[in-house]
């Protein structure tokens, strides 16, 4: 796999993923913690072309375990025949710092030591991710973003960015997200990190360390991503003396599936970054922070979401000057932000038509 990268350059990866590009941050990247990250790399995808007016940019921010290709994980909303499409829009999605899909993260080698970061990777925040997005935006020659959109951790990035750089966005769409991580959300994610820590290999020097803990963490996460209705309907078969239940089989499958494509230290790092999310850190209150947003905002909540409550969506809508709030039903709960693309597309289309 070719990863030749020059400072400020755009390079395609090898035949494994020819559309993935890399941007090397020109100087040391100072994190919110004060730690400096050397030779930081941002992996990203673009689809379509920037038009002459530079007013057709759609910036997609991804959630916890996603990559930088929204065509893969947001079908029905983003694609050649969808509302957000490369014929009309210049679509950008950057892999967040700390991830294992191309941007600098725990699996990368530390230039200072020549060893993989692993558990020594510095603490990240949503603000750090957004700062990296801003550098990439400037590198791509983008002055304004027509639409910034994201769900869950992706929505946290969009609102952080819209607060800190109010003149960047014309429109934002926040789906199943929040202005500040709730104690409930922190509790759920910290329990998952405890599961990862219970795997002794997490603290080893193996780049695959923590994989059994990751499986357990993912299984735990699924109970907050979905609903009891969904599990009771689709995993109804009970256990027997000879066979485990459908519910247990499904949970084990989900854990193994994530283990095969993700990384335990990455999961640990990014889930912790979500815990630190609070747009009011520099301000007197969340309301003061949200009042800085100049973009017209669409907030979409999911009625059955166990992870990001309806009240959290109302906080966003109440605090942003030009906003509208809608709720959709989904038996998938929080995962509805990925699954209910048709309903989200309808709301987004109507919103954009009203605010042309």
The predicted model gives 273-277 an average pLDDT of 98
Q: Is 341 helix (H, G, I), strand (E, B) or coil?
A: helix
Q: Out of 305, 323, 330, 335, which one is annotated catalytic? A: 305
- 152 is known as an active-site residue: yes
Residue 234 confidence (pLDDT)? 79
pLDDT of residue 198 exceeding 50: yes
Mean pLDDT of the chain: 93
The span from the CA of 146 to the CA of 54, in Å, is 9
Q: Spell out a b/e string for 153-174, using b for 16 or more CB atoms within 10 Å of the CB, else e.
A: bbbbbbbbbbbbbeebbbbbbb
Q: Out of 224, 275, 334, 335, which one is annotated catalytic? A: 334
Residue 83 confidence (pLDDT)? 98
The predicted model gives 123-148 an average pLDDT of 98
pLDDT of residue 108 exceeding 80: yes
pLDDT of residue 54 exceeding 60: yes
The span from the CA of 162 to the CA of 294, in Å, is 8
DSSP characters over 163-224: HHSTTSEEEEEEES--SB--HHHHHHHHHHHHHHHTSGGGGSS-TTTTHHHHHHHHHHHHHH
pLDDT of residue 141 exceeding 90: yes
Q: Is 293 helix (H, G, I), strand (E, B) or coil?
A: coil
17-20 long-range Cβ contacts below 8 angstroms, 24+ apart: 19/45, 19/47, 19/69, 20/44, 20/45, 20/68, 20/69, 20/102
Query: Is residue 7 very low, low, confident or very high in pLDDT (cuts 50, 70, 90)?
Result: very low
Q: Is 299 helix (H, G, I), strand (E, B) or coil?
A: strand
- 318 is known as an active-site residue: no
- Can you point out the beta strands (E) in the chain? 11-12, 21-24, 29-30, 36-37, 41-47, 57-61, 90-94, 145-151, 169-175, 296-302, 323-328
Query: Is residue 37 very low, low, confident or very high in pLDDT (cuts 50, 70, 90)?
Result: very high
The predicted model gives 150-168 an average pLDDT of 98
Q: Out of 99, 103, 152, 323, which one is annotated catalytic? A: 152
pLDDT of residue 18 exceeding 90: no
Query: Is residue 154 very low, low, confident or very high in pLDDT (cuts 50, 70, 90)?
Result: very high
């Amino acid at each position: 796999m070719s990863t030749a990268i020059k400072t400020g350059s755009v390079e395609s990866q090898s035949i494994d993923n020819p559309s993935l590009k890399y941007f090397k941050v020109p100087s040391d990247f100072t994190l919110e913690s004060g730690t400096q990250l050397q030779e930081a790399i941002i992996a990203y995808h673009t689809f379509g072309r920037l038009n002459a007016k530079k007013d057709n940019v759609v910036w997609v921010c991804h959630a916890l375990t996603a990559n930088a290709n929204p065509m893969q994980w947001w079908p029905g909303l983003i694609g050649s025949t969808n509302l957000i499409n490369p014929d009309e829009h210049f679509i950008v999605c950057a892999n967040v710092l700390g991830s294992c899909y191309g941007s600098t993260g725990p699996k990368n080698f530390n230039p200072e030591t020549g060893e993989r970061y692993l558990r020594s990777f510095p603490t990240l925040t949503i603000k750090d991710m957004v700062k990296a997005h801003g550098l990439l935006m400037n590198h791509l020659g983008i002055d304004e973003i027509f639409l910034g959109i994201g769900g869950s951790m992706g929505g946290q990035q969009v609102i952080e960015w819209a607060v800190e750089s109010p003149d960047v966005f014309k429109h934002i769409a926040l789906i199943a997200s929040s202005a500040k991580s709730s104690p409930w959300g922190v509790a759920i994610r910290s329990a998952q990190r405890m599961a990862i820590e219970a795997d002794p290999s997490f603290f080893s020097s193996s780049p695959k360390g923590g994989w059994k803990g990751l499986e357990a963490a993912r299984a735990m996460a699924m109970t907050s991503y979905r609903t009891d209705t969904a599990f009771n309907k689709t995993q109804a078969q009970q256990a027997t003396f000879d066979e485990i239940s459908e519910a247990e089989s499904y949970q084990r499958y989900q854990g193994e599936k994530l283990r095969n494509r993700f990384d335990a230290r990455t999961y640990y790092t990014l889930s912790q970054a979500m815990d630190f999310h609070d747009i009011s850190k520099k301000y007197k209150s969340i309301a003061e922070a949200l009042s800085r947003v100049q973009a017209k905002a669409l907030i979409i909540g999911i009625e059955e979401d166990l992870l990001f409550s309806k009240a959290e969506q109302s906080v966003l809508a109440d605090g942003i000057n030009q906003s509208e709030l809608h709720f959709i039903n989904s038996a998938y709960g929080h995962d509805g932000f990925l699954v209910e693309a048709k309903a989200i597309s309808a709301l987004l289309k109507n919103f954009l038509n009203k605010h042309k």
